[in-house]
Amino acid sequence: MTNGLSNLNIALDLLEFGIFFVILTLLVKPLGKYMSKVYTGKRIFLSPLISPVEKWIYRLTGVDADHEMNWKEYAFSMLLFNFIGFIALFLILIFQGLLPLNPEHFNGFSLSLALNTAVSFVTNTNWQAYSGESMASYFTQMAGLAVQNFLSAATGMAILVALMRGISRKNAKAIGNFWVDLTRSTLYILLPLSIIAAVFFLSQGVIQNFDSYKVVDFLQPVVTQSGTVTHQVLPMGPVASQEAIKLLGTNGGGFFGANSAHPYENPNPLTNFIEVLLISLIPASLTYTFGKMVGDTRQGWAIYIVMLSILLIFLGIQYYSQIRGDPLITNMGVSGPYMEGMEARFGVGGSVLFSTITTGTSEGAVNTSMDSLTPIGGMSSMVLILLSEVAFGGVGSGLYTMLAFVIIAVFIAGLMIGRTPEYMGKKIEVKEMWMAIITALTSGIVILIFTSIALITKNGTSAILNPGAHGLSEILYAFASTANNNGSAFAGLNANTLFYNLATGFAMLIGRYIPAIATLVMAGSLAGKKYTPPNVGTLPTHKPAFMVWLFAVIIIVGALTFFAALSMGPVVENLIMWGGI
């Protein structure tokens, strides 16, 4: 009996991985450079086209683009703007039934589901306790959810840029203008890239229309227990435009329930490859933007390399686990790769590549049923989320979380070797350490507390689909995903209940805004410091020794926080699976 994939297929999958990372790495510098120009207000080739629109927006809204904000004003503007977005989306969801572009006449969302969904999209999580094709109108998708896909991504980028300014400025109070950063992120980066991506998707078969759902006859009627079914109803909608920003903004909320496994969202192996590329493009390139903005691109590359290493390790673990498959199935005389939850056209390679990148970033789109991955395969994705999504993380949020780990690493190293902890010429003191710790640990604390509550209450455990150790994984994954604003799910868990809508809603809010505010506090504090030129006592943060150290700190913090929980979930399930039930 042949088991798993042939050697040729494994070699081709590895080739797909290799080519992917080469292309991504080649794109980091050009896009990173472009973004640094956008954020420093330099002229770029799109300026003649976009600059008039930008100025027009400022004039109409009364934004003074030259006014610079301190961290408090920046944070206040960010929170206020997000709150307005939340209210608007919440109302759209509640009153969906009364709004236009609703050919299937869907009713409004329930209050708890609307609350959960609005929080989810405003926080860049895109956790979905609803199913798009059977619950959301075109208006909701396009003018409600997709708007937040742009704006939540732009918010994350703005916060990161403020931190970059904090690091690079000296004796300053101001860290930029939130409205300008938000507007520029959207107009110069997210929108042009989305248009290119959407047009490409269109050419490949991703749909884009406002028709009502299409009824087509089955070639052969199916007989079910409840009668014969002769036709299929194909959902329609403006998918391509939403697909593009869903990926570029590391949002991840699918137009359809099956997300990027759905052929109308992700029709072929090429679109799959491009989708993964779009997910990682901005977060990866921001490392170069960072280097450029702090005046030392080596610092950006050092962080990129650490991120890439983390990603490659877990890609390897997940791939290995998936090609080993499920012995319970192969023992029944089944040959070939373990394909439960995977699309034939993507194969194991295309599925694993997507599943790894979507969890290393805060994307959360899926082209595979995460719940059906092998125990260690699923754990690999879960660990990437639990490490606070720093490889490459969400647009903006990934790098600012990573920079918190950098500060922690610098501080611990400073203690160990007896040097004053400094990063980029700025002294790391008590305030910076507190903010870094808050940024790095908030999600972990939220995950463990909420998972524990869910595990000891009937409301929590009754939603489990898969029994035993796997059930624990479902709950742990739900809170890991929401607290880190990922949005993917072990989707067997029935998450549309009052308990889970509220609990995951809180997890998303805390996981997004506590680190975001801490980052802005740190930005303000660093901006005000004086610059200390490097001397013999300075720890170089762009050399391999520091990269290894940073890598170790991230892994150790993650392992100390989650080792116990992971042991009881996926590890136990793996032992059961290979030991026989």
Partner 1 sequence: MLKPLKVSVLIFVMFFVIVGFLYPLLITVIGNVFSPWQANGSIIHKGTEPIGSKLIGQPFSNPGLFWSRPSSTAGFPYNALYSGGSNLGPTNKVLINRVENRIKILRNSGITGSIPSELVLGSGSGLDPDINLESALVQIPRISKVTNIPQNILRNLIFDHLNNRTFGFMGARVINVLELNLALMNLEKAYGR
Q: Which of residues 103-162 bind partner 1 (CB under 8 A)?
A: 131, 133-134, 142-144, 146-147, 150-151
- Residue 257 or 528 having the CB closest to partner 1: 257
Quote the least distance from Cβ 340 to partner 1, whole Å.
4
28-43: buried (b, 16+ CB within 10 Å) or exposed (e) per residue?
Answer: bbebbbbbbbbbeeee
Is residue 76 at the binding interface for partner 1, with CB under 8 A as the rule? yes
Which residues inside 463-482 make contact with partner 1, applying CB under 8 A? 465-468, 470, 473
- Scanning 120-128, 361-369, 398-406, 438-446 for contacts with partner 1 by CB under 8 A, the matching segment is 361-369
What are the residues facing 342 on neighbouring strands? 368
How many alpha carbons fall within 13 Å on the CB side of residue 495?
Answer: 29
Cβ-based nearer residue to partner 1, 333 or 418: 333
- Torsion on CA atoms 34, 402, 322, 480, rounded to nearest 10: -120
Residue environment code for 158-196, b if the CB has 16+ CB neighbours within 10 A, otherwise e: bbbbbbbbbbbbeebebbbbbbbbbbbbbbbbbbebbee
When asked if residue 212 is in the footprint of partner 1 (CB under 8 A), the reply is no
Nearer to partner 1, 143 or 412 (CB): 143
Candidates 42-50, 202-210, 433-441, 541-549; binding stretch for partner 1 (CB under 8 A): 202-210
Touching partner 1, residues 383-442 (CB under 8 A): none
CB of 380 vs partner 1, minimal distance in Å: 14
Pick the closest to residue 165 from 152, 151, 181, 150 (CA basis): 181
β-pairing verdict for 426-427 and 422-423: antiparallel
Q: Counting contacts by CB under 8 A, is residue 195 touching partner 1?
A: yes
Using the rule CB under 8 A, which residue among 7, 26, 43, 62 binds partner 1? 62
Q: Are 246 and 365 in contact (CB under 8 A)?
A: yes
Cβ-based nearer residue to partner 1, 345 or 427:
345
* 241: contact with partner 1 by CB under 8 A: yes
Binding residue for partner 1, selected from 108, 156, 176, 238, defined by CB under 8 A:
238
Contact call for residues 526 and 140 (beta carbons, < 8 A):
no
Give the range of 21-29, 210-218, 426-434, 438-446 binding partner 1 by CB under 8 A: 210-218
- SS3 for 230? strand
Residue closer to partner 1 by CB (options 104, 429) is: 104
How far apart CA 116 and CA 506 sit, in angstroms, is 9
Residue 57 engages partner 1 in binding (rule: CB under 8 A): yes
One residue of 252, 253, 300, 341 binding partner 1 per CB under 8 A:
341
Chain-centroid distance, C-alpha 485 = 7
Q: Which residue has the tokens 């929108």?
A: 191
Looking at beta carbons only, is 3 or 452 nearer to partner 1?
3
Among positions 71, 90, 273, 288, the unique one binding partner 1 when judged by CB under 8 A = 273
- Of 50, 313, 555, 576, which one interacts with partner 1 (CB under 8 A)? 576
CA 171 – CA 181 distance, rounded (Å): 21
Q: Determine which residue in the list 74, 90, 288, 346 makes contact with partner 1, applying CB under 8 A.
A: 346
Buried/exposed code over 49-58 (b: 16+ C-beta within 10 A; e: otherwise): ebeeebeeeb
H or E element at residue 172: none
Q: Taking CB under 8 A as the rule, does residue 60 contact partner 1?
A: yes
Q: Is residue 328 close enough to count as binding partner 1 by CB under 8 A?
A: yes
Contact string 3-32 vs partner 1 (x = CB under 8 A): ------x--x--xx--x-------------
H, E, C per residue of 407-420: HHHHHHHHHHHCCC
Q: Residue 466 CB, nearest distance to partner 1 (Å)? A: 4
- Exposed / middle / buried, residue 61 (Cβ in 10 Å: 0-12, 13-18, 19+): exposed
Q: Does 1 bind partner 1 (CB under 8 A)?
A: yes
C-alpha torsion angle, residues 78, 83, 86, 91 (rounded to 10): -150
Q: Which is nearer to partner 1, 229 or 552 (CB)?
A: 229
Among 264, 288, 411, 551, binds partner 1 (CB under 8 A): 264
When the beta carbons of 150 and 301 are compared against partner 1, the nearer one is: 150
| Near partner 1 by CB under 8 A: residue from 28, 32, 35, 85 | 85
List 181, 275, 343, 389, residue binding partner 1 (CB under 8 A): 343
* Residue 83 Cβ vs partner 1, minimum distance, rounded to whole Å: 8
Pick the closer one to partner 1 by CB: 373 or 383.
Answer: 373
Per CB under 8 A, which of residues 485..544 are in contact with partner 1? 490-492
Tokens 């993650």 correspond to what residue?
Answer: 558
User: What is the Cβ-side half-sphere exposure of residue 96, based on CA atoms within 13 angstroms?
Assistant: 30
Residues 6 or more apart whose CB falls under 8 angstroms from that of 528 comprise 171, 172, 173
CA distance 561 to 445: 8
57, amino acid identity: I
